[in-house]
Amino acid sequence: MLFRSDNVVNTLKRLQPETDLEFINAVVCGDTAADLLARLQPDVVKQGPELVILGIGTNDCLLSCRIEGFEQDLSEIIESSRDCGSKVLLIKPSTIMDKRSASSFHK
């Protein structure tokens, strides 16, 4: 399994320490969807994971990325992951507590 969230990896390892699953943590703190898309092939697709868990979008919001670009990048990430035979699980990104930051995600 390949993950895009440190919290998911740490939680699963803690809950299932005896599992024979291989966990690959491809998280780069501060990444946007565009950053992940740029390194998707070598860091994710090349690994051939059965499952990709994505929890992405918080940094895009905080950096005031345009929502259209985020949607396009996320769609390409999902499509590329599926094309290599991976199932994709989307998880809710971290909550942004600052209303000003949350409202800066451009529409």
Q: Do 32 and 65 touch, CB atoms closer than 8 A?
A: yes
Average pLDDT of the residues in 43-72 = 88
Mean pLDDT, residues 71-95 taken together: 90
Q: String of b and e for 26-50 (b: at least 16 CB within 10 Å)?
A: bbeeebbbbebbeebeeebbeeebe
3-state DSSP assignment of residue 44: coil
pTM listed for this prediction = 0.73
Mean pLDDT of the chain: 80
Whole-Å CA distances, 69 to 60, 104, 106: 9, 14, 10
CA–CA separation, 8 vs 97, rounded Å?
A: 20
Residue 2 has pLDDT above 80, yes or no: no
Contact 52, 8 (CB under 8 A): no
Say yes or no to pLDDT of 85 above 80. yes
Confidence of residue 71 (pLDDT cuts 50, 70, 90): very high
- How many Cα atoms occupy the beta-carbon half-sphere of 99 within 13 Å? 0
What mean pLDDT is predicted for residues 27-31?
84
